[in-house]
Chains A and B, each alone.
Chain A
Amino acid sequence: MPTFAIVFELGRNSCAIEERRGVVCELITNRDYIPAKPASLRFGNKFSCLAVNFRGGDPARNKLNSSFDNRYNSENQDFMRKVFAGVFLALAAPLSPAASPGAVFIEGAHVITGSGADLASASVILRDGLIEDIGPGLAAPADAWVIQGKGLTVYPGFMDGLSTWGIAAAAPPPPQRPGGAAGTPANQPAAPVAQPATPTPRSRGPEDRPQTYAFERAADLLSPADTRLEMARAAGYTSAASFPNRGIVEGLGAMISLAGERGRAMVIAQPVGQQIVLRTAGFRAGFPGSLMGDIAYVRQLYLDLNHYKQAQQIYKQRPVGTPRPEYDHDLEGLAGSPRLLLPADEVQQIDRMLAFGSELGVPFALYGLHEAYLRIDQLKQANAPLLLSLKWPVKPKDGDPTVVPNYRDLRMRDQAPSIPALLAKAGVKFAFFSDGIATAPELKSAVKKAIDAGLPPAQAVRALTLSVAELYGLADRLGSIDKGKIANIIVSKGDIFDEKSNIEYVFVDGKEFRPPEELQKPAARPSAGGSEAKPAMAGAAGESQTVADGDAR
């Protein structure tokens, strides 16, 4: 069924629509832009941008387009209601509001810059998607939309250190309804990653490059239609290091903005790394079928990479008379990665991956780290960048009540939230990643646990902002409220980690969003992202590894 979207602006100033008509036309042809999920329509001052799904042929699109052009009038909103309301009720889904005034001036707010200064009353000017200026006593630019900052606190926009946001195919699958497929095709985001239609042959070894998607680029898979973006923005997230989510070698990640008119506009920097997930697919899916197989495989991959580079170099020097080395797109993907993210949750995994990363001889970071309280000194000594999961281990829900948990697990659940404080105290740099903790209440609750365990709130902000930017070498552009940086900021009423605080505005690339209140309240979306967590390594006691990905090749 042909589907297309019309996006138009009822901006604060009516000239916006004229300026952006070109964009409107482009969007119509961009099917990725179609929102995946119908939601209730709200029409009014709060919303200045709408997307509509029409099901019909191209003539309809042309017709509407022209009528839209001819009859649009920003003062006549009644007209808009008449034309679209009926359609909306059935088909439409609103995007988050976006306005594009010339500049935004946040006047006299409490500004936590994230790079050090905590300014009791300062102003921030955003223009062209960048922070034009920050400081006390700035004058409002003539063309600026002014936000009175009194009573508001401005934070740098949160960054997710390791994510799948923006990659709709990497979203957790919708719950299966008994007896039928979940959702309707119209509700499903287009899957950018083609799944193999026929079962691939069983992998017989590293030569078959099992579960290796090193060549895939997150930047090519992005879609602003990923419904998780709105949820993440409501929690204060504005950017994320997003990685494809399948296989053992997952593909090249990208630092992305959590909003954009289309996928490619969301990319801030790429590639930012390769993520390793030690998945196993079991006996039948072929090699590797065990943790040790995974490790041997990754080791072989990097040996192959070195060999590949050496072979290419020798061949380049003397292409005549030298047998031609094969092209290997998996190894190309590895070669193009500035860093490797290695999973290390439990203490033995931390030891193992510190040694393994050194062995591979590439820059690496560890992610997970829920038993890191036992390895603070070693982590400091190793000086590897750390991505700490915000999904603190908790008592399993619906577990067997007669089972008494073992001491190690109890201790981990008790002490994991104290890891950030311990790392901060020891002077070890770390950044947070959401690990499925994506909704505003979940994020607040998770960070609050760390703060309660002794993490200074300023450090908590840093681990969600500048530390992430630093880890990926992007601190010159992201992570704090400083002149010239990307205008990713949060305007909050109250301390952002306070349960009762409310995010008034989120600016992503200078674009304004007003996270709906219900997305910031606990009841709105209970654990919407809770199942998103990527499996790292299975627990020490687990005999079999997570069967997370059956399409080994």
Chain B
Amino acid sequence: MRGTVTVSAILLITSTALNAETILIRNATVLTVTKGTVNNGSVLLEDGKVAAVGTDLHASAGAVIVDATGKYLMPGIIDCHSHTAVEGSVNEGSVSDSSMVNIKDVIDPQDINIYRALAGGLTVSNVLHGSANAIGGQTVVIKLRWGKTANQMLFEGAKPGIKFALGENPKRQGYPGDFFTQSSMERRFPGTRLGVEDVIRQSFVEAKNYQTEWKRYNDRVARGDNPIPPRKDLRLEPLVEVLNGQRYVHAHCYRADEILMLIRVADEMGFKIRTLQHVLEGYKVAKEIAAHGAGASTFSDWWAYKIEAFDATPYNAALMTRKGVLVSVNSDSDELQRHLNLEAAKTMRYGGMSETEALAMVTINPAKQLGIDDKVGSIEVGKSADLVLFDQHPLSNFSKVLKVWIDGHEYFDREKDLAARADFAKRKKTLLDKENEAAKPKPPAEPKSEQAKKPAAQEAR
């Protein structure tokens, strides 16, 4: 090995469900979400996909049989707004348009919150930036394949997104700390809601110019010319993708006026808002949201943590749904993501959603919002075998997750987890003891012996 070798082949990414076992889950109450409920139903998982759903299924020899009598099977839960597994800051808070940064670059597959979320039945997360910037950056959808690499967690075929943010957060960054003592150098545009609108519009104007610049270049090349190409700009590329419909816009927002503002900007610039996130005043402008075709991903009953989040209601999800908006309930939190089924259940209490409608809020609806409803979000033949087995109805406060499968692989098992704890604690204790033992000063050297070892404390660290 002389010099440096360019790495030509890196980790082979095989995140598909190769060698997934054939599994037959029998005798469960199967909550398919899209195809009704099958009592005493069975689901056959083959090659990582749902192969059959019915009441009288038989598996080939060698299949793993899971007896789910009295238990409930539902599709893996999907969270449309998560910040889990992000290494480093979730905000590139220095600039108002940081669309060059990509969550994909900083996924930490060892974040323990992934496993904890799995234990709550979550299988898919839309991992977003924080909301410090009007345009936060490029986002990804991951499957919670605990134990795999970051690349192996990426949801194959899921369209990437971009995070926008409106309102207090992006405008607040203009004056970090004390308004009056900041030098102008430390301030950041924008400082008002008007400015947030301007940042987004300005960025799209630049993106369009960039698009034109490249078109002009490509035209010249087509004519046989050899001009200097435009500089590839990582900030504008994702915005061009948005204009081309290749990237979804997920926009953090609260107030009705700013929601309407963004819809106007989107119409003017010629792009679609895929989801409005939080959207606590969405119930006020639900018709307009529906007309634009945007989805709404909201909280069940979390508000009043800041001024712009005061005029909220837990009926928001139901009200928007009734006006024709595609609504999901999200977590935005490492804690809430562990029981999104209960968050969904609240829409029954507030607004009278049906069981299926409530379950859809955390399964098929977010799947549709993320454009992955052909693969996940319900228990249907041909979809990914992303399933959660509950001991009771998942909309019950008392329900517990027993097993979670992703692509037909078991990623969580309550019994195994409990059984492994003692062993884990033992291993940890062994390591702790070993470390503490090594840190202890060794017995002092015997006075006359030259062979005696020096105390460990003297060893430089």
| A56 interface contact, C-beta 8 A | no
| B103 interface contact, C-beta 8 A | yes
| B342 interface contact, C-beta 8 A | no
Q: Is there contact, CB below 8 Å, between B95 and A475?
A: no
Q: Which residues of B contact A384 (CB under 8 A)?
A: 4-5, 7
Contact stretch, chosen from A240-248, A283-291, A489-497: A283-291
| A40 interface contact, C-beta 8 A | no
Known: A292-B101, A413-B435. A351 touches B11 (CB 8 A): yes
Nearest chain-B residue to A526 (Cβ)?
A: B460
When the two chains form the complex, which single residue of B102, B105, B431 contacts A407, counting CB atoms closer than 8 Å? B431
Q: For the complex, give the distance between the alpha carbons of A179 and B410 in Å.
A: 61
Which parts of B290-310 form the interface with A (CB within 8 Å)?
Answer: none
- Against A, the Cβ 8 Å flags (1 = close, 0 = not) of B1-25 are 1111111111100000000000000
When the two chains form the complex, which single residue of B3, B10, B105, B186 contacts A292, counting CB atoms closer than 8 Å? B105
| B106 interface contact, C-beta 8 A | yes
Please tell me the number of chain A residues within 8 Å of chain B, measured between CB atoms.
94
Interface of B is mostly: loop
Q: Which residues of A contact B89 (CB under 8 A)?
A: 280, 289-292, 543-545
When the two chains form the complex, which single residue of A382, A473, A522 contacts B454, counting CB atoms closer than 8 Å? A522
Q: For the complex, give the distance between the alpha carbons of A526 and B111 in Å.
A: 36
Q: Is there contact, CB below 8 Å, between B432 and A325?
A: no
Nearest chain-A residue to B186 (Cβ)?
A: A284
Q: Is there contact, CB below 8 Å, between A288 and B92?
A: yes
Q: Which residues of A contact B98 (CB under 8 A)?
A: 287, 293, 296
| A364 interface contact, C-beta 8 A | yes
- Against B, the Cβ 8 Å flags (1 = close, 0 = not) of A413-455 are 1100000000000000100000000010110010000000000
When the two chains form the complex, which single residue of B7, B150, B235, B424 contacts A348, counting CB atoms closer than 8 Å? B150
| A378 interface contact, C-beta 8 A | yes
Q: Is there contact, CB below 8 Å, between A289 and B424?
A: no
Q: For the complex, give the distance between the alpha carbons of A280 and B89 in Å.
A: 10
Interface residues on B, range: 35 or more
Q: Is there contact, CB below 8 Å, between A358 and B10?
A: yes
Contact stretch, chosen from B58-66, B116-124, B222-230, B241-249: B222-230
Q: Which residues of B contact A296 (CB under 8 A)?
A: 92, 98, 100-102, 105, 137, 234
Q: For the complex, give the distance between the alpha carbons of A384 and B87 in Å.
A: 24
- Against A, the Cβ 8 Å flags (1 = close, 0 = not) of B77-88 are 000000000111
| B419 interface contact, C-beta 8 A | no
Known: A291-B87, A299-B234, A351-B149. A382 touches B7 (CB 8 A): yes
Q: Is there contact, CB below 8 Å, between B9 and A382?
A: yes
Q: For the complex, give the distance between the alpha carbons of A382 and B93 in Å.
A: 34
When the two chains form the complex, which single residue of B4, B5, B110, B234 contacts A300, counting CB atoms closer than 8 Å? B234
Q: For the complex, give the distance between the alpha carbons of A18 and B87 in Å.
A: 62
| A304 interface contact, C-beta 8 A | yes
| A135 interface contact, C-beta 8 A | no
User: A286-B94, A307-B231, A473-B4 known; 11 other A-B pairs, CB under 8 Å?
Assistant: A287-B92, A293-B101, A296-B100, A300-B234, A323-B228, A348-B150, A363-B3, A381-B9, A395-B439, A413-B431, A473-B2
Can you list 22 residue pairs at the A/B interface with Cβ under 8 Å? Answer: A206-B235, A273-B4, A287-B95, A290-B88, A290-B106, A291-B105, A292-B105, A292-B137, A293-B100, A295-B105, A303-B234, A355-B11, A363-B6, A407-B427, A407-B431, A410-B435, A414-B435, A441-B460, A472-B3, A538-B88, A540-B110, A540-B111
